[in-house]
A and B are shown apart, each in its own frame.
Chain A
């Protein structure tokens, strides 16, 4: 975009925004001044920005997401203020109202709920399974910084360039260039894309962590329920987020290259976007609510002083929901007109998925039944959640009745429903989790009295705000309207609703006060303030940086509880014998790379090549730097561990109760056993699976759009098979030679390895050359990406594969250099194994491109 005057770049003309400009500027100045005055820059960099410690990353997630909750909440209050009175109110102009509901929705789900959830994962999971960190600490830090940069990119649109205003899911054709020509929509796309990559990697990270890094003896069926819920949520993440990535990428290609996936003309089909985005969107709501279920399970058991009722059924419910959530997506567009059988099918699947959810509610109730319940804050939020979620779930089942949904759709009934499950389920759940684990994380408790105020304000406010909205929906008030007239009769209900919203706002303020107050009058706690049941309570609060001085040996569910019972019986533990601990080093790579992502995203938003190019180069350079860096970890000496433990210990039971110390010899019998290279291989495999989903989504799009040639050439007229057949055989052969490279490697034959890698790379390069030639010729003949929906889908699918091959080539060269320098070591072995896997995978994808695109296309 060409900037000619200041108002092309900065958002101008609105006093609210000028106020925000000033506030943002002052805050930034204040931060810089404070850091400089207190000489804290080095501290900030060393202790936080470059940390790979999951606990600190977790804290950063929580802080960022609470800030986002604040912004999303202010947005909500602005909207409710606008809706408090009919007609005459012009507090927010209609287009400003559009900005705000779009921003509110995106922020609340993607930049508040998701990172708060990741924060809780990070703070808790490694401690619950007795691990020293997550499987990939550096990747974990990268995930955080990508989220952070993505969130920042999205948020600056408020003052620079202008906000997106096509709703939180950006339905086309409204979100297409024709109807949203501004940069807001591009901020939306890039903000979500960048943070989405981070979410995907977190998903992979925690799956590997949970499957492979559990303390010895912790069989799957002995895991704490929160860990189970994280596993189910992450499984859904890795399967669903690639779909979002593709969908937004296609929208971007439409906007940037003038393609026609979702436009109204040239064969594009906006409905396809809606179909795709909900394939991610529905699983997404389960992604955020499953961990909340996990939290409630922990809290209920702890504060009822009982084991969780129905452990097995709970596990089954969580895992089945994480898969079943993929089969209900069409209930978001019953009104699209896909026919009665489609609607009937998705109505039924939606109702079925309510069953495992119901099972869980009964499990919680039975856990409380006859328990010695104490009403601490986490428990209060849990008890508030249950009725709220039950009502929200029931209105959800009402919505799932397809014919009835024609009435409810896009009305305030829907708004009330999803806020009830999102606030009553997700937000209440995460609050419960925060209150529950806060003492573990920070070593002090939060003030109870202020917390109760916040609790009651949130709860009363919630019902006052959202119950009237069910009524409004039935009265016919549609969502996303910024005003209504007196004669609709909606005024009184709206006014009440606004009061409720402000009560919740007050609740939030009480929470801020509560935190500040508790920091000031710090009430220190020991390792186990609640009488917990799971491993995280067995170590000091806050946990030392290596978590467990001695890897615990687990024998049962609720292992900490078991050990406390043993201790009460007077069973003494042997004195701890400390050993050196292997730890990852801090690294600046993640934050630097994420800054380059920000630059790249900002460049694409404004279409400034002079930013895009350095951004892309920077990303590639940091990636290569990381690949060549072998100095990533160190050892903490046994002496240092002893000192740290002595300092933190102060007589609390803590790790000394490590009843049976695990010895470091590996018993291969349990699946908790791990070693670094095996972890990484598994992580890479899961990454390949997510890539499968990327291609699957592209194939689906191609299948739906392939006949929409809009008067342009069809495949039969365009494709020239000799070249394609040559490409196919070349790639197939390279898949074979990459295998031969692995064989040489396994024999320890370094020359052979490098030789076969070179052959593979040359074949790959010839493949790319042929493909590029083919593309250029087609374009020359007038078959461009903007010619028709068919060609958009064709170039994108085949081009994505080509891009993968090209990246693989760069990677292969980097690996050759590493092998040449370092020889065949476990690390280079793992890397070569992975790239050959990647190469086979690309060949498999090509088989399907060849078959479905070319062979079926020329017939």
Chain B
């Protein structure tokens, strides 16, 4: 067990809280709004279509994910060693493997109707 109970107060200030300033939250929020609006305008009005539309959709979604990671979740501020970042990257690799792997493997087995 941790024997450092008494250190809560001293650590409260630095060790384990989301930092961020009002500025970063507002910036993140505005960017997210924009990144949500872009696909809505482009795709629902058929300004881009076909594969290009898929690309626009996925790229804006991924960008928004990155925006939230940095401006809301403050990933950049983690101290070294950056275990959280490492676990996140691993998790993303596995998620990609699951999605892409399943699609690839199941391609020949799809019973589409």
Interface residues of A (CB under 8 A from B): 131-133, 137, 211, 213, 235, 239, 243, 267, 269, 271-272, 275-276, 279, 323, 326-327, 329-330, 336-339, 342, 551, 581-584, 633, 664, 666, 671, 674-679, 681-682, 685-686, 689-690, 692-693, 695-697, 699-701, 703-704, 707-711, 721, 725, 728-729, 732-733, 735-736, 739-740, 742-743, 746, 825-827, 829-830, 833, 836-837, 840-841, 843-844, 847-848, 850-852, 855-856, 858-859
Contacts and interface: CB of A to CB of B under 8 A. Distances in A.
Contacts of B69: 844
A675 B57 contact: no
A711 B112 CA distance: 11
Contacts of B54: 856
A685 B84 contact: yes
Given A728-B36, A732-B33, A851-B58, A746 B17 contact: yes
A708 B95 CA distance: 23
Interface residues of B, number: 69
Contacts of A686: 87
B43 A859 contact: yes
9 contacts: A137-B1, A239-B91, A584-B1, A676-B2, A682-B84, A700-B102, A736-B72, A847-B64, A851-B61
Nearest to B72: A840
Contact of A851 (B57, B88, B101): B57
A729 B29 CA distance: 11
Q: Which of A211, A736, A843 is most buried by chain B, counting CB atoms within 10 A of its CB?
A: A736
Q: Which 6 A-B pairs have the closest CB atoms?
A: A696-B95, A826-B8, A689-B91, A851-B61, A700-B102, A736-B29
A634 B103 CA distance: 53
A674 B106 CA distance: 45
B90 A279 contact: no
Q: Which of B9, B40, B98 is most buried by chain A, counting CB atoms within 10 A of its CB?
A: B98
Nearest to B84: A685
Nearest to B22: A743
A699 B99 contact: yes
Given A736-B28, A739-B72, A840-B73, A847 B65 contact: yes
A693 B106 contact: no
Interface string B61-76: 1001100110011000
Nearest to A692: B91
B81 A689 contact: no
Contacts of A267: 111-113
B11 A677 contact: yes
Main secondary structure of the interface of B (DSSP, over half): helix
Contacts of B44: 721, 855, 858
A132 B90 contact: no
B112 to A, nearest CB: 5
A735 B36 CA distance: 14
A707 B110 contact: yes
B98 A243 contact: yes
B44 to A, nearest CB: 7
B19 to A, nearest CB: 8
A695 B94 CA distance: 12
A239 B22 contact: no
A681 B19 CA distance: 14
Nearest to A728: B36
A826 B2 CA distance: 15
Contact of B9 (A633, A707, A739, A826): A826
A682 B4 CA distance: 17
Contacts of B94: 239, 326, 693, 696
B49 to A, nearest CB: 8
Contact of B109 (A337, A677, A855): A337
Contacts of B57: 851-852, 855-856
Nearest to A134: B1
B103 A704 contact: yes
A855 B12 contact: no
A693 B90 contact: no
B40 to A, nearest CB: 7
Nearest to B12: A826
A703 B39 contact: no
A710 B4 contact: no
Contacts of A695: 95
Nearest to B58: A851
Contacts of A733: 29
A696 B99 contact: yes
B2 A679 contact: yes
A736 B25 contact: yes
